[in-house]
Amino acid sequence: MSDVSIKRALLSVSDKSGLIELGRALGQHGVELVSTGGTAKALREAGLEVKDISDLTGFPEMMDGRVKTLHPKVHGGLLAVRNNPEHVASMDEHAIGAIDLVVVNLYPFAATVAKGADRDEIIENIDIGGPSMVRSAAKNHESVAIVTDPADYARLIAEMEEKSGATSYDFRRMLAAKAYAATAAYDSMIASWFAFADQGVMFPDTLALSSKLESTLRYGENPHQSAALYLPVGPSAKGIAQAEQVQGKELSYNNYNDADAALELVSEFRDGPPTVVIVKHANPCGVATGETLIEAYEAALACDSVSAFGGIIAVNRPLDGPTAEAISGIFTEVVAAPGADDDAKAIFAKKKNLRLLLTGELPDPARPGLQIKSIAGGLLVQSRDNGQVDRDALKVVTKRAPTDQELKDCLFAWTVAKHVKSNAIVYAKDGSTAGVGAGQMNRLESARIAAWKAKDAAEKAGWASPRTIGSAVASDAFFPFADGLLAAVEAGATAVIQPGGSIRDDEVIAAADEAGLAMVFTGMRHFRH
Closest residue by Cα to residue 80 from 34, 139, 130? 139
Catalytic option among 29, 281, 351, 455: 281
Q: Whole-angstrom Cα distance, residue 6 to residue 165? A: 6
What residue type is assigned to position 3 of the chain? D
Q: Whole-angstrom Cα distance, residue 133 to residue 131? A: 5
Catalytic option among 29, 87, 139, 351: 139
Strand pairing of 355-358 and 311-315? unpaired
Report residue 331: phi and psi, to 5°: -70, 125
Which residues of 248-330 form beta strands (DSSP E)? 275-280, 283-289, 311-315
Do 475 and 424 meet the contact criterion of CB atoms below 8 Å apart? yes
Give the DSSP H or E segment for 378. Answer: strand 378-383
Q: Whole-angstrom Cα distance, residue 206 to residue 189? A: 13
**Distance of alpha carbon 388 from the chain centroid:** 21
Q: Whole-angstrom Cα distance, residue 76 to residue 73? A: 5
Strand pairing of 51-52 and 32-35? parallel
Which residues are paired to 56 by β-bridges? none
Closest residue by Cα to residue 498 from 389, 419, 366? 389
Asked, as a colleague might, if the bond just before 222 is cis with ω within 30 of 0, I would say: no
Residues 463/465/471/477 CA torsion (nearest 10 deg):
100
Give the DSSP H or E segment for 11. Answer: strand 8-13
Name all contacts of 93-100 with Cβ < 8 Å and 24+ positions apart. Answer: 96/72, 97/8, 97/56, 97/73, 98/7, 98/8, 98/143, 99/8, 99/9, 99/10, 99/34, 99/74, 99/137, 99/144, 100/4, 100/5, 100/6, 100/7, 100/8, 100/9, 100/143, 100/144, 100/145
Do 135 and 180 meet the contact criterion of CB atoms below 8 Å apart? yes
* Burial class for 446, CB neighbours closer than 10 Å (0-12, 13-18, 19+): buried
139 is catalytic: yes
Q: Whole-angstrom Cα distance, residue 389 to residue 398? A: 19
Q: Which residues are catalytically annotated?
A: 139, 281
